[in-house]
Chains A and B, each alone.
Chain A
Amino acid sequence: RKEVEQDPGPFNVPEGATVAFNCTYSNSASQSFFWYRQDCRKEPKLLMSVYSSGNEDGRFTAQLNRASQYISLLIRDSKLSDSATYLCVVRGSNYKLTFGKGTLLTVNP
């Protein structure tokens, strides 16, 4: 089983839609979780960390379910500028940082 598995997508949604991405991880000792955003041919950039209690940043909500070993990202009221690849990242206890394959989101006018 891969260490981090992510919805393959791609997702094509209209502006204003709500879209959710999921990611599962295999190591129950994983310590930190993140969502990164990557625009075409650019380096990934931190979108948000994921906390046990769930956290929100504007239109973005991240959740962690340790019992089921998955994290999720919800984007509400999608904008054209949200079009990008979304990557989940899991940190192990030894500072190993593993990425999911990424999910491509295209928001259409």
Chain B
Amino acid sequence: KNEVEQSPQNLTAQEGEFITINCSYSVGISALHWLQQHPGGGIVSLFMLSSGKKKHGRLIATINIQEKHSSLHITASHPRDSAVYICAVCMYRQGNLIFGKGTKLSVKP
């Protein structure tokens, strides 16, 4: 079993829909990252969370430390949101990240 599990693996939505991507992890962590990767490979960090909730524009990320679960929400989705969204955790006393396999999101106009 992977230490970081994401669901769904693939997601197709119509423009304007509310989208949720889930991430569960099985290890103690110091922080959790939500990352966005477009075709071509570059990774952009969307959020870094250690507790609670963060919001940036149409993106919202939440984390429940007790349940070892995080969600990424996209409100009013747009075709430009199409990308792979990756959850990654930073373990205590370690600097490197452990990544989920990613969720490939496609938003249709």
Q: Do A and B bind each other?
A: no
| B-to-A contact residues, CB < 8 Å | none
